[in-house]
Chains A and B, each alone.
Chain A
Amino acid sequence: GESVGLHLPTLSVQEGDNSIINCAYSNSASDYFIWYKQESGKGPQFIIDIRSNMDKRQGQRVTVLLNKTVKHLSLQIAATQPGDSAVYFCAEKSKTSYDKVIFGPGTSLSVIP
């Protein structure tokens, strides 16, 4: 069945370093991928998305990479700051599922000052 998972449930990085959060997905029909950030006590917040016709997309301090060959998605955060500490979710969607998004379990990122 469909599933989205994260390789590492927790990640600790030094402030100023780059962070890489990984995600594996299993549905070959997925054509849209999203990364969300969830801070403690808040709902998930959209960070960046990518469609399956792209390999890379950049935002402000964040980059998402998509490798369709191995069904792998990653989120790179440059110069990680204490405010980046949160749980990060990847999510996938396919054309066959009407607005239905499948979320991964999340990776907790801790930034060490």
Chain B
Amino acid sequence: DVKVTQSSRYLVKRTGEKVFLECVQDMDHENMFWYRQDPGLGLRLIYFSYDVKMKEKGDIPEGYSVSREKKERFSLILESASTNQTSMYLCATTQGQRQETQYFGPGTRLLVL
């Protein structure tokens, strides 16, 4: 079974803080994704990566950056957290371009005060 883990289940940060959300997968999957999930809006893609050191903007990249230094790890960075970034953050992976099923982590619920 694919296992996708996220570093924290709950985080509370203050406005202006730099925030790191970590995602690790153990199945050697090529593609990794970061979404945020908000009531009524569903899942929205922030960034994705299809290889080490590669990254692509999703639909809502503003205020975020990512890092993929190793294949198994994909980090989401909030350079200066704002209250409108309070959300559930979900990491997902797929094996490759033809493997379309996304495997999700448990999510990190971030509260920015």
Q: Chain A: residues with CB nearer than 8 A to chain B?
A: 32, 34, 36, 41-46, 49, 89, 93, 98-101, 103-106
Q: Which of B64-72, B74-82, B97-105 contacts its partner?
A: B97-105
Cβ of B25 within 8 Å of any chain A Cβ, yes or no, is no
Q: A99 and B100: CB pair below 8 A?
A: yes
State whether A34 touches B101 (Cβ < 8 A).
yes
| A82, chain B: closest CB distance, angstroms | 21
Docked-complex contact B100 and A44, CB < 8 angstroms: no
Number of A-B contacts (CB under 8 A): 51
Residues of B in contact with A, size category: 20 to 34
Contact B100 A105, beta carbon cutoff 8 Å: no
Cβ–Cβ contact B42 & A99, under 8 A: no
Q: Shortest CB–CB separation between residue A104 and chain B, in angstroms?
A: 6
Q: Are B90 and A105 in contact, with the CB atoms below 8 A? A: no
Which of B58, B103, B107 makes the CB contact (< 8 A) with A46? B103
Q: Which chain A residues lie closer than 8 Å to B106 at the CB level?
A: 41-43
Report the bound CA distance from A103 to B105 in whole Å. Answer: 16
B12 touches A (CB below 8 Å)? no
Q: How near does chain A come to B48, taking the closest CB pair, in angstroms?
A: 7
Beyond the given pairs A34-B101, A46-B101, A100-B48, 7 more chain A to chain B contacts, judged by CB atoms under 8 angstroms and listed by A's residue number, are A43-B92, A43-B105, A43-B107, A44-B102, A46-B103, A98-B50, A105-B41
Give Cα A79 to B7, complex, Å.
37
Give Cα A103–Cα B102 distance, bound, in whole angstroms: 12
Inside 8 A of B97's CB, which chain A residues have their CB?
98-99
Cα distance, A73 to B4, chains bound together (Å): 28
Q: Is the CB of B42 within 8 A of A32?
A: no
Rounded to whole angstroms, the CA-CA distance of A105 and B58 in the bound complex is: 17
